Amino acid sequence: MKSIPVITLDGPSGSGKGTLSRLLAKTLQWHFLDSGLIYRGFAYKVAAAHIDVENIDKLIMLAKQCNFSFGQEQIGEMPELNINGETIPATLLATEHYGEIASRVGAIVKVRQALVEVQRQFKQAPGLIADGRDMGTQIFTEADLKLYVTASAVERAKRRYQQLKQNAINVSLEQVQNEIKMRDERDAKRAYAPMVPAKDAVLIDTTGKTIAAAKALIMSHLQAKGLIS
């Protein structure tokens, strides 16, 4: 039986991996997993239940109680996220507030383990584009192409700042710079499933590149791997 192809895009915030993943999923008409949204959705539940991010036992219990489901999928788009029947708007989850909680709770091994299956279920024909921090190193180690997308710290902060502005979220560039620096450091340094390039990952540096140029570069890697003709 022909296996279902998976392409993983891991890397820090503001690297362009989210935009590129979405574009690739649309171009190829494949499924799209934004794993950060799942961590952010869990963070939302943590905040709603007033659980302290230091209270590991309660976090693990909550993770086991969360039943994730998804709305109707438009191919190439991450479907709407529901947890225990509650629809959680993606625009609400875009704030750094939930990014920060997601990064903290994402450092707990048993929380990560409770979220494995919900992520793996996105692997469906005709193929999957998976965006995150550990897609190529933990969740889809069998991926056909693993990309590690990055950019200079200054450029990443500027991009993230623009994204937040577009979502009408009021922050200063300096605040964004500090917040993503701390979050990326925590994500990269955690003991379990840290944000690091997979051994077999191709490095894509998007500094000074347009999205179109970065996409073209990735498409050339897909072609080289025989994933597209």
Interacting span for ligand DC (CB under 6 A) from 32-40, 64-72, 144-152, 216-224: 32-40
* Count of Cβ atoms closer than 10 Å to residue 33 Cβ: 27
Stretch that binds ligand DC, among 54-62, 97-105, 147-155, 164-172 (CB under 6 A): 97-105
Complex with ligand DC: residue 28 or 38, whichever CB lies closer: 38
Q: Which two tokens stand for residue 31?
A: 């499924």
Instruction: Give yes or no for residue 134 binding ligand DC (CB under 6 A).
Output: yes
Q: Are 209 and 150 in contact (CB under 8 A)?
A: no
Question: Residues touching ligand DC: how many (CB under 6 A)?
Answer: 14
Q: Does 39 bind ligand DC (CB under 6 A)?
A: yes
Rule CB under 6 A: is residue 40 a binding residue for ligand DC?
yes
Contacts 24+ apart (CB under 8 A), 167-173: 167/91, 167/94, 167/95, 169/94, 169/95, 169/96, 171/96
* Shorter beta-carbon distance to ligand DC: residue 28 or 102: 102
* Minimum distance from residue 14 beta carbon to ligand DC (Å): 9
**5, 76, 99, 127: residue in contact with ligand DC (rule CB under 6 A):** 99
Number of residues that make up the chain: 229
13 near ligand DC, judged by CB under 6 A: yes
Question: Closer CB to ligand DC, residue 103 or residue 150?
Answer: 103
* Strand (E) or helix (H) holding 31: strand 31-34
User: Quick one: which of 31, 45, 123, 133 contacts ligand DC (CB under 6 A)?
Assistant: 133
Q: Cβ–Cβ contacts within 10 Å for residue 114, how many?
A: 20
Cβ contact 84:66 at 8 Å: yes
Q: Is 148 in the site for ligand DC (CB under 6 A)?
A: no
Residues 167-196: x where in contact with ligand DC by CB under 6 A, - otherwise, as a string: ----------------x---x---------
Among 16, 20, 30, 36, binds ligand DC (CB under 6 A): 36
Phi and psi torsions of 35, nearest 5°: -65, -25
C-alpha to C-alpha distance for 25 and 197, rounded to whole angstroms: 21
12: its two tokens: 């820090």
Judged by beta carbon, residue 138 or residue 145, the one nearer ligand DC is: 138
Q: What is the dihedral of CA 64, 84, 32, 171, to 10 degrees?
A: -90
Q: Which helix (H) or strand (E) holds 34?
A: strand 31-34
Strand partners, 203: 148
Residue 40 or 156 with smaller CB distance to ligand DC: 40
Q: Which residues contact ligand DC (rule: CB under 6 A)?
A: 13, 35-36, 39-40, 99, 102-103, 106, 132-134, 183, 187
